Amino acid sequence: MADANRYPLTTTPIKLGAVEIRNRFYLSPHGVGYNVGYEPSDVFAEYYRVRAAGGCGLLVHAMSTMPKRGGGSLTTPYLERTIPSFKAVADAVHGEGSKIFAEIHYSRVGNLWSYEPGSSNAPLFGPSPVQTADDFHVTHEMSTETIAKVVEAHRISAQHLAEAGYDGIEMHCA
């Protein structure tokens, strides 16, 4: 712990808005496959609880704002029925004295035309038609109506996360 003395602020509380975090260690958002459909599983909640118990003051949970057609592997708080499972994650983290934020984003990965297995990929939406950097798709320019739907999905997801006890939201805007 000699190095802890070199960086004394790392172990002191910090406020992000109205939320006080016990230290400056955080778990960055990343994909975690421990979900059942669109909901975090009990294993998912334990994954975050153990990291909170290990000393992370803030855990950031990445998720989609909208359910993906064709199943997908991303959790989403968009569906009201998922609130109890997100509450279980928040309660597990809070039980260890830590805070949890959600990084919400519009997921373009694995979004199929229909909910039927084997359906082809639906168009990716963007502000203009551009080639994506990580695959061979070209985005389709979003209409005003589509933008309104995506904004509304973010609002619904944020509201459900607040009801589940999440402490904050991080917007993924890339």
Mean predicted confidence (pLDDT) in 20-40: 86
Q: Are 99 and 61 in contact (CB under 8 A)?
A: no
Handedness of CA 124, 125, 131, 135 (dihedral sign): negative
pLDDT band at 128 (very low <50, low <70, confident <90, very high): confident
In this prediction, residue 155 carries a pLDDT of 95
In this prediction, residue 82 carries a pLDDT of 92
Q: Are 160 and 82 in contact (CB under 8 A)?
A: yes
Sort 67 into a burial class: Cβ within 10 Å, 0-12 / 13-18 / 19+.
buried
pLDDT band at 122 (very low <50, low <70, confident <90, very high): low
pLDDT band at 23 (very low <50, low <70, confident <90, very high): very high
Q: Where are the alpha helices (H) located in the chain, listed in sequence order?
A: 2-6, 42-53, 83-94, 144-164
In this prediction, residue 133 carries a pLDDT of 72
| pLDDT over 70 at 28, yes or no | yes
In this prediction, residue 108 carries a pLDDT of 57
pLDDT band at 3 (very low <50, low <70, confident <90, very high): low
pLDDT band at 43 (very low <50, low <70, confident <90, very high): very high
